[in-house]
Amino acid sequence: MAELKITKSNFESEVLNSDKPVLVDFWATWCGPCRMLGPVISEIAEERADIKVGKVNVDEEQDLASQFGIMSIPFVAVFKEGKIVKSSVGFQPKEDILALLN
């Protein structure tokens, strides 16, 4: 499944009320490490049917970024039952992102 575009309007339904864990990538187009991480996030979205994968463009969704105190990107968070249970900042290899889901 392709990653979802997460916005303020769908955040509650897609992330907070999800019955599956949700991997959310907070990113921006101007961010070099974000562009490096993008294909990794896309691969995970295609390979893992047991989770949702979403992307939040912090320039377009500044309210969401400030709600979660995002100061550095890329910021990847795993949400379960509406709460962040694990997160990482900066580019991480695929195996490290997958480890967040365990």
Tokens matching residue 35:
């562009």
Which position among 23, 31, 37, 40 bears the catalytic label? 31
The total of other beta-carbon atoms located within 10 Å of residue 66's CB is 11
Contacts of 59 (CB under 8 A, 6+ apart): 28, 29, 30
Examine the residue annotation and report whether 31 is marked as an active-site residue of this protein: yes
Examine the residue annotation and report whether 34 is marked as an active-site residue of this protein: yes
Which position among 6, 34, 41, 56 bears the catalytic label? 34
Instruction: Give the alpha-carbon dihedral of 37, 39, 43, 49, to 10 degrees.
Output: 70
Active site amino acids: 31, 34
